[in-house]
Structure 1
């Protein structure tokens, strides 16, 4: 289930970035899967550009972050063309003000196509920034012959203050260009770990620089990514060249992972809906939202008591499974839906999750509790490889008129503790609400993790 976990993780953090739409799907409202992917722009200095410990241009943390997004099919575009070795905060600020144009530099290298920095920012969903170290490192001068360092703490203190002021201007400018973009700002690490006698002073430098950047980032709605501890965990491996402050490939991978973890952690923040406090399904709703299977609406509601349609239910269940792509579409009445939805329906049909009516799905029909049980039971078969065959049927007085497959499906929910009915009845003809679906899907997800 490794791929399924990645799939759910992608939709969870996209949900946190408000890029995923509600599971109320219609031909006019649903965005395509392509629209859910991220446009990523990296700004900054040599760390974003990817200068390694040999002084050569290679993959930097931005490349590894982009690769992580690509691996889970979450990357739409990537450009580190505005990351320049040696850049200070003043250089980036000037680029923003002058709206410089540079070639796009993505995972395939430098491209012939160019773009200006303001357009790149306007089209971005996420931006990473690493800038500021060059502003203060000029006041840290190592002597190769003696192995000592001349540290001008007064100049560093003044430099850090300037970094904070410039960062504020940089972030403010970016937010003016694109108020909705998510910005991730990199912290720094001890660039001279082998100079034991200066660790305390260098640690103070890094702590002070991080504090200034973190404070300004937070005040401007950006996310600070601390990396000092991660690099300190294996300095010999991550900063192997004592004469070069840049990271090795392994070091950049660690930093790229910290960016990815910070992005993903946004999904762990509990989503608050205005209409589920005190609702019996509140916990289940939070679970399926965190998994990226369902989401709320732009007005801050979840609408737990709203009935689900057949196509909505198919989408919800398909998102909770690891299913191969399917080319054949057996239903003629979903042609006007977006490609993403049609793909979900095709996948569902390929495993018999939904069978339709003489070539029609009837996508707008409401789903009953018995029909939902059937879909979940067929999903169970797809996951386990075998149909559920109970020793005895669930003790409901109102399911005896149904065929064996439906009774077994209802019994599956009963035996697994997903749905226990009420007062000895299952109420199979009752319409399924979003809250009902959240409870059933939460139970199904828990079953898959066992």
Structure 2
């Protein structure tokens, strides 16, 4: 019931935001009006309910009426939209992603409300008329599904993820989830992507480390001279020996298939756990499960993994009576993250799901 009311309220808000209503005043009547009959005038004068006040006599106003006249209209309450996810949700690859370094790695709490306007959370907020206090971006770069399970249960990761190198501790996540009216969950890509990056590092004896850092940070899109120089330097390091070349080839032909095969049961179990936990935290919220995007569609093993994962997520949404948001045509860059157009596409699908929810 709560999410139905939210959907109706948002639809009404968007309707009135898109159209301006003009007020039309009637033109004054021309010519003289007929004088009222004497009997009607007497009857009106005798009936106190219809007696017109004289120029000196003003109608009495009660205290309650006076308060109603002076009180300012209350602002319509905005729903709270909370977005869970990884670097895709955070907007990595776009400009002005807010983060800082700390002892545990990277602190992205600045990005919870300071996220780029172009990311899908920002575009959903703009479409629905939500301010930054009512559209919270909890996208965490490098996050894998097992990490998200811990975060939605305890608000922190018990230890560093040795594959991604991230460790997050944000107890406020639980409060955001409990208070939210709408919650979106985007997860699954990193369960295959992060192990692949690590496997490439091992195959190249970590000659690929600098290049991987540029790609994963989203800086690959940058046009500034420093980034170009760093990219060229990282490519020079990729002069592989024969054994390293063979290792990379084996990874592409068979190793990635094993990575995706191993990732699928882990991802599905963890995504189910996340959905169950979020639903228990907030039984009344509208929950949106966003489909995964495939950053490497030319590899059969990856296509198979993402096809199976999206099919599972759709079935899971039906079981838990939540909304599945398929985003099969989200455009991505070489860094694996959506383009501005890709984020816009995802945002449109989310808004449509909210309105229909």
1:39 maps to 80
Question: SS at 2:76's partner residue?
Answer: helix
1:153 maps to 257
Kindly indicate whether residue 139 of structure 2 is the aligned counterpart of residue 138 of structure 1: no
Equivalent residues of 2:289, 2:322 under 8 A apart: yes
1:74 CA drift (Å): 9.2
Kindly indicate whether residue 91 of structure 2 is the aligned counterpart of residue 50 of structure 1: yes
1:126 maps to 182
TM-score by length of 2: 0.52
> Which deviations, in whole Å up to 9, do the C-alpha atoms of 1:343-367 show, x marking residues without a partner?
xxxxxxxxxxxxxxxxxxxxxxxxx
Aligned pair in 2 of structure 1 residues 211, 32: CA closer, same or farther (>3 Å)? farther
Distance 2:152 2:294 in 1: 29
Equivalent residues of 2:188, 2:267 under 8 A apart: yes
Structure 1: runs of 5 or more not aligned: 1-6, 15-26, 102-113, 232-237, 267-450
Distance 1:76 1:53 in 2: 21
Aligned pair in 2 of structure 1 residues 100, 52: CA closer, same or farther (>3 Å)? same
> Which deviations, in whole Å up to 9, do the C-alpha atoms of 1:197-251 show, x marking residues without a partner?
x3x43322221111222222332222111111x22xxxxxx324x3x11112121
**Any residues of structure 2 matched to 1:214-225 within 5 Å, and which?**
214-225=314-325
1:53 CA drift (Å): 6.5
Distance 2:147 2:96 in 1: 21
Kindly indicate whether residue 320 of structure 2 is the aligned counterpart of residue 263 of structure 1: no
Could you tell me which of 273, 276, 279 is aligned with 1:169? Answer: 273
Kindly indicate whether residue 127 of structure 2 is the aligned counterpart of residue 68 of structure 1: yes
Question: SS at 1:128's partner residue?
Answer: strand
Question: SS at 2:292's partner residue?
Answer: coil
Distance 1:11 1:115 in 2: 34
Judging by fraction of residues, say which structure has more helix.
Answer: 2
**Any residues of structure 2 matched to 1:25-424 within 5 Å, and which?**
34-35=76-77, 37-52=78-93, 58=116, 59-70=118-129, 77-80=134-137, 82-100=138-156, 116-140=172-196, 149-150=252-253, 151-193=255-297, 195=298, 198=299, 200-228=300-328, 230-231=329-330, 238-240=331-333, 242=334, 244-266=335-357
Cα RMSD, aligned residues only: 3.6
1:154 CA drift (Å): 3.5
> Which deviations, in whole Å up to 9, do the C-alpha atoms of 1:158-190 show, x marking residues without a partner?
311111111121111111111001111111222
1:126 CA drift (Å): 0.2
> Which deviations, in whole Å up to 9, do the C-alpha atoms of 1:386-429 show, x marking residues without a partner?
xxxxxxxxxxxxxxxxxxxxxxxxxxxxxxxxxxxxxxxxxxxx
Greater RCO structure (CA 8 Å; 6+ sep): 2
1:75 CA drift (Å): 8.6
Distance 1:157 1:96 in 2: 26
Question: SS at 2:83's partner residue?
Answer: strand
Equivalent residues of 2:90, 2:139 under 8 A apart: yes
Distance 2:317 2:132 in 1: 24
Distance 2:128 2:95 in 1: 27
Distance 1:115 1:155 in 2: 32
1:13 CA drift (Å): 9.6
Distance 1:129 1:138 in 2: 19
Aligned pair in 2 of structure 1 residues 51, 32: CA closer, same or farther (>3 Å)? same
> Which deviations, in whole Å up to 9, do the C-alpha atoms of 1:300-357 show, x marking residues without a partner?
xxxxxxxxxxxxxxxxxxxxxxxxxxxxxxxxxxxxxxxxxxxxxxxxxxxxxxxxxx
Question: SS at 1:263's partner residue?
Answer: helix
> Which deviations, in whole Å up to 9, do the C-alpha atoms of 1:107-160 show, x marking residues without a partner?
xxxxxxx97122111110001111111112235457986896355323322311
2:12 maps to 11
TM-score by length of 1: 0.42
In our comparison, the structure showing a higher alpha carbon Rg is: 2
Equivalent residues of 1:61, 1:255 under 8 A apart: yes
